[in-house]
Amino acid sequence: MYSTLPQPVCVLGSTGSIGVSTLDVLARHPQKYSVYALTARDRIEQLAQQCRRFSPRYAVVLDDDKAAQLRLALQADNLATEVLSGVDALCRVASDDAVAIVMAAIVGAAGLQPTMAAVRAGKKVLLANKESLVMAGPLFMAALEESGAQLLPIDSEHNAIFQCLPYPFDGLGGAGVERILLTGSGGPFRTTDLAALDSVTPEQACRHPNWSMGRKISVDSATMMNKGLEFIEACYLFHATPAEIQVVVHPQSIVHSMVQYRDGSLLAQMGNPDMRTPIAHALAFPERIDSGVAALDLIAQGHLDFEAPDESRFPCLKLAREAMEAGGSAPTTLNAANEIAVDAFLAGELPFTGIARLIEKVMKTTQVVELTDLDAVELADQSARKRAVEVLAELYGAHGGAPSPQTRSK
């Protein structure tokens, strides 16, 4: 039923890059959306400011100390915002009866439980947290079907593909689709001398040429594991086989992905690289609303380039494809090993090229099991993390392999 009341939105991960972009879009449409809950792990002062600005019913943090800090910060403001803490509280606000839309923008595996809670509660779920889908794909998609929740992709590529497919969509074959072309910029090291990759720093890896993002996804973009995770994400979201998805390097990040049809048509979605476009699209779908993003000036842009990815430069792409082909817990293991590797790289504990090396070794020495339920996902995730820490020590010692101590990120 069409409601004229603002739709209550829960923003999981509101202090992150996607969270902030989401609040920017929501603030442009106060008659359409209200902010019901905001959540964050840290950056309490930023969260307090968001609470002052949006007056959510709930603000949720991970631990009690942070909750106390937030209550203190908000003491003088006389807000009706209730401060909660813990994973259960994250799940509670994501599935609250009063919530219509959930933006799932926590980074990494930590997003799985609250995102699944939103899916199971049948919400309109805006999925930025690709890791939750990668680690629990078949269960995630089954829960979606069972609850009737609506999933709208926020990842710009998947949002682009969604926009280039018919709606409703019931499979590539029925829609006359031959393949999906998943574009990726190639990140900051697309043309860097291969020999220099060993010594690139976290700061260099996080300096993405086109997008401003959180540190974890920025490193993923530099290794192209981000494209690997997106490859898996696309297989699940669009019921595609690995053979039906081709990764294309497109350095300008203007074409966000494409769909090739049987009749020779190639549909692309284009726009300036700004996440507010997919966020606005998903929030209002099927309506179109202002996102604050400037129109794309193709004449100023001049030209668009495309090339095949170089898997010797980006071995993570191959690892992700192999994980998807292996199925079962292999993508879960890949994701967990990657999270450990990226953290270690950001902490100066392994070199950039060690990320793929570590993941490959974990994949080779971990058995693939069937994911029967979320406990099995949790188990596969935890054992892959444990294995990754062992492999890190085997390959690089306690702090071996880092470019230099001053490149540590924290």
Indicate which of ligand NAD, Mg ion, none lies near residue 91 (CB less than 5 to 8 Å, by partner kind).
none
**Nearer to Mg ion among residue 96 and residue 157 (C-beta):** 157
Work out how close the CB of 110 gets to ligand NAD at its nearest, in angstroms, rounded to a whole number: 3
The rounded Cα 291 to chain-centroid distance in angstroms is 20
CA angle 277, 15, 69 (to 5 degrees): 160
Is residue 129 within the footprint of ligand NAD (CB under 6 A)? Answer: yes
C-alpha dist (Å) from residue 309 to 187, 195, 250, 335, 352: 11, 18, 9, 21, 18
Work out how close the CB of 304 gets to ligand NAD at its nearest, in angstroms, rounded to a whole number: 20
Number of residues that bind ligand NAD (CB under 6 A): 26
Work out how close the CB of 29 gets to Mg ion at its nearest, in angstroms, rounded to a whole number: 24
Is residue 18 within the footprint of ligand NAD (CB under 6 A)? Answer: yes
51 in Cβ contact with 319 (< 8 Å): no
* Rounded (10°) CA dihedral 188, 317, 391, 389: 70
Work out how close the CB of 82 gets to Mg ion at its nearest, in angstroms, rounded to a whole number: 34
Q: What CA–CA distance (Å, rounded) separates 269 from 136?
A: 28
Is residue 360 within the footprint of ligand NAD (CB under 6 A)? Answer: no
Indicate which of Mg ion, ligand NAD, none lies near residue 128 (CB less than 5 to 8 Å, by partner kind).
ligand NAD
**Mutual orientation of helices 374-396 and 112-120 as an angle, nearest 10°?**
160
Is residue 19 within the footprint of ligand NAD (CB under 6 A)? Answer: yes
**End-to-end CA separation in angstroms for the chain:** 49
* Rounded (10°) CA dihedral 164, 167, 172, 173: -120
Indicate which of ligand NAD, Mg ion, none lies near residue 131 (CB less than 5 to 8 Å, by partner kind).
ligand NAD
Is residue 169 within the footprint of ligand NAD (CB under 6 A)? Answer: no
Work out how close the CB of 186 gets to ligand NAD at its nearest, in angstroms, rounded to a whole number: 16
- Output the six-digit token pair for 191: 């043309």
Q: What CA–CA distance (Å, rounded) separates 258 from 248?
A: 10
Residues 187-246 that bind Mg ion (CB under 5 A): none
The one-letter amino acid code at 114 reads P
Is residue 74 within the footprint of ligand NAD (CB under 6 A)? Answer: no
Please tell me the total number of residues recorded for the chain in this structure: 410
Indicate which of ligand NAD, Mg ion, none lies near residue 240 (CB less than 5 to 8 Å, by partner kind).
none
In the three-class reduction of DSSP (H, G, I as helix; E, B as strand; rest coil), residue 179 is classed as strand
The piece of 75-83, 213-221, 281-289, 326-334 that touches ligand NAD (CB under 6 A) is 213-221
Is residue 217 within the footprint of ligand NAD (CB under 6 A)? Answer: yes
**Nearest Cα to 282, choosing from 163, 364, 191?**
163
Q: Beta-strand (E) ranges in 154-231?
A: 177-184
**Nearer to Mg ion among residue 157 and residue 343 (C-beta):** 157
Strand 82-85's sheet: what is its strand order? 82-85, 58-61, 33-39, 7-12, 101-104, 124-127, 150-153
Is residue 360 within the footprint of Mg ion (CB under 5 A)? Answer: no
Residues 145-164 that bind Mg ion (CB under 5 A): 155-157
Work out how close the CB of 122 gets to Mg ion at its nearest, in angstroms, rounded to a whole number: 26
Work out how close the CB of 43 gets to Mg ion at its nearest, in angstroms, rounded to a whole number: 23
Largest separation between any pair of C-alpha atoms in the chain: 63
The piece of 106-114, 235-243, 363-371, 386-394 that touches ligand NAD (CB under 6 A) is 106-114
**Nearer to Mg ion among residue 155 and residue 349 (C-beta):** 155
**Nearer to Mg ion among residue 155 and residue 343 (C-beta):** 155
95 in Cβ contact with 123 (< 8 Å): yes
363 in Cβ contact with 325 (< 8 Å): no
232 in Cβ contact with 320 (< 8 Å): yes
> Mask 248-287, x = binds ligand NAD (CB under 6 A)?
---------------------------x------------
Binder among 133, 134, 155, 293 for ligand NAD (CB under 6 A): 155
The piece of 9-17, 27-35, 50-58, 353-361 that touches ligand NAD (CB under 6 A) is 9-17
Binder among 102, 128, 219, 324 for ligand NAD (CB under 6 A): 128
Q: Is the dihedral of CA 244, 287, 2, 102 positive or negative?
A: positive
254 in Cβ contact with 270 (< 8 Å): yes
The binding site for ligand NAD (CB under 6 A) comprises 13-19, 40-42, 62, 105-107, 110, 128-131, 155, 211, 213-214, 216-217, 275
The binding site for Mg ion (CB under 5 A) comprises 155-157
